[in-house]
């Protein structure tokens, strides 16, 4: 395996870990805020998960930093940002945009039947709009990487 292939695999792993960490941190934080007054046990569970997710997010930041140093040392930045990668980023961005708009449009009729705080819905939409496109991008990159093998 050459250096570019190794760095592509590493990028996929770092992105999936970062998306998981961010999603856990933010969605558990939303859960903690929802159960602030009602159930102390759930509040503590979600608070612990949020802290774990925040810690994982810190590790993800370190992994991003380490990855960028490896890319600079290998001097393969252009090879990692080829046309296929740019196309995958565009697909993931459009997917995230369509996802957030779809969820917003689905929440409009749901609001007639279910009472919820808008701030929690907005935070969940934004969290999903960040994490799912990252996972989709990693999936597309992995799929392309496997086709080349």
Distance CA 64, CA 18 (A): 9
Contacts of 131 (CB under 8 A, 6+ apart): 19, 20, 22, 23
Q: What is the pLDDT of residues 45-87, one digit of tens each?
A: 999 999 999 999 999 999 999 999 999 998 888 888 889 999 9
- Domain positions in the chain are 3-148
Residue 90: its pLDDT value, please?
96
From residue 52, alpha-carbon distances to 3, 23, 81, 90 in Å are 32, 11, 32, 31
pTM for the whole structure: 0.88
Distance, CA of 111 to CA of 4 (rounded, Å): 48
pLDDT tens figures, 26-42: 999 999 988 876 788 89
């Amino acid at each position: 395996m050459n250096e570019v292939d190794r760095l592509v695999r590493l990028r996929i792993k770092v992105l999936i870990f970062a998306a998981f960490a961010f999603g856990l941190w933010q969605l558990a934080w939303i859960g903690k805020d929802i159960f602030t007054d009602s159930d102390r046990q759930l509040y503590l569970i979600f608070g612990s998960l949020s802290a774990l997710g925040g810690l994982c997010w810190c590790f993800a930041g370190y992994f991003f930093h380490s990855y960028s140093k490896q890319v600079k040392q290998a001097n393969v930045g252009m090879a990692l940002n080829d046309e296929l990668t740019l196309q995958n980023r565009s697909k993931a961005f459009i997917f995230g945009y369509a996802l957030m708009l779809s969820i917003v449009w689905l929440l409009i009729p749901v609001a007639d039947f279910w009472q919820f705080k808008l701030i929690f819905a907005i935070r969940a939409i934004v969290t999903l709009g960040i994490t799912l496109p990252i996972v989709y991008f990693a999936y597309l990159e992995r799929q392309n990487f496997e086709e080349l093998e």
